[in-house]
Amino acid sequence: MHSSFARLSSIFLSFLLLLVTATACVSPPFPAGKSGALAPQVSPAAEVAALKERSDFWRNFQCKLRINVNGKTARFSSPAIVLVKSPNLLRFETFTPIGMTAALFVSNQSGPSLLIPSQETVYTAKRPETLVREFLGGVNLPVDVFSHLLSGSIPPQMFKNIESRSQGGLLRLISRSPGGYFEWQVASGALASVFIGTAQFEGRVSYDPPVRLAGESVPETIRISSKDWRMEVRVEQMRPAAQFQPGVFHLPELPGVRRVELDSTK
């Protein structure tokens, strides 16, 4: 009796073991949910194409931001409004705590100009960077580069000679030309940082959080640093602009203002 019971128990346990083993080898009838799915791998060519679309999307835009500058010659924090119309129209206006214009920089076909209402003075120069140093307390960032850093995009002309390198999930897009060295770093489908080396500026730009390559994505916090100064830009609003009001990229006509040509004072 005991022998028969033991034999039946052994057969039953063997059957259970066989059943469990067979069940383990069967694939689940439904695919794993998002939590268990691996992120799809995007090819470098697809990411470059996305960046080209992004550059087209942000050719013309307007944004509201807060800018903080910490440098050897100046420290300040100010709200600002920036208007950009490619390829060479820019308006950058900062404001006092009570909402009055503190400084107004414009760059157009006639050249760059800087209005300081409190001084009743308009500054001009051949190069916009000369005025930017005056405007932002020693910041030597090229104006055309700054507008693309704001939108998290690559200047369209740089795609002509760009090379891509992939390293451990990081895509490095490198442009070398007589104008300098530029490297955009893309990770997980988002622009994380930019390295720049030009005659006017050498430094690093980081995006917090990284900016998704989708055209409509807007940067939140942009940090720009060089050996002599640091800038933090917090973007409050940004949107593409199909058109702008006439004259917005020119200084207003103000009687009695003093005009100073900075190139002639050096």
The string of DSSP letters for 124-177 reads E-SSHHHHHHHHTTS----HHHHHHHHHT---GGGGGGEEEEEETTEEEEEEEE
Residues 6+ apart with CB under 8 A from 136: 69, 74, 231
Does residue 236 contact residue 72 with C-beta atoms inside 8 Å? no
Enumerate the domain spans of the chain.
44-265
Structure tokens at 177: 């030309």
Cα atoms in the Cβ-side hemisphere of radius 13 Å centred on 208 = 9
CA angle 177, 129, 84 (to 5 degrees): 85
- Write down the pLDDT at residue 13: 44
Non-local (6+) Cβ contacts of 76 within 8 A are 68, 69, 137
pTM of the predicted model as reported, rounded to 2 decimal places = 0.81
The pLDDT score that the predictor gives to residue 200 is: 85
Q: What is the pLDDT of residue 31?
A: 38
CA angle 259, 263, 266 (to 5 degrees): 110
The phi, psi pair for 11, rounded to 5°, reads -65, -40
Around Cβ 50, how many Cβ atoms within 10 Å?
18
Q: Which two tokens stand for residue 27?
A: 């694939």
Two tokens at 165?
A: 């390198």
At residue 42, the pLDDT reads 64
Q: Could you list the pLDDT tens digit for every one of the 266 residues in the chain?
A: 445 444 544 544 454 444 434 444 443 333 333 434 444 556 888 999 999 999 999 999 999 999 999 987 778 899 999 999 998 899 999 999 999 999 999 999 999 999 999 999 999 999 888 898 877 777 888 888 999 999 999 999 899 889 999 888 899 999 998 889 999 999 999 999 999 999 889 999 999 999 999 889 999 999 999 998 999 999 999 999 989 998 999 999 888 899 999 987 65
**Helices and strands, counts by H and E, the chain:** 4, 14
Look up the CATH superfamily of 44-265.
Lipoprotein localisation LolA/LolB/LppX (2.50.20.10)
Q: Could you tell me the two tokens for 19?
A: 């059943």
**188 touches 169 (CB < 8 A):** yes
Residue 198 corresponds to which tokens in the numbers above?
């030009």
| CB atoms inside a 10 Å sphere around CB 244 | 15
Q: Please list, residue by residue across 58-74, b when 16 or more beta carbons sit within 10 angstroms of its beta carbon and e when fewer do.
A: bbbbbbebebebebeee
pLDDT of residue 36: 41
DSSP, collapsed to helix, strand or coil, labels residue 219 as coil
Report the Cα 138 to chain-centroid distance in Å: 22
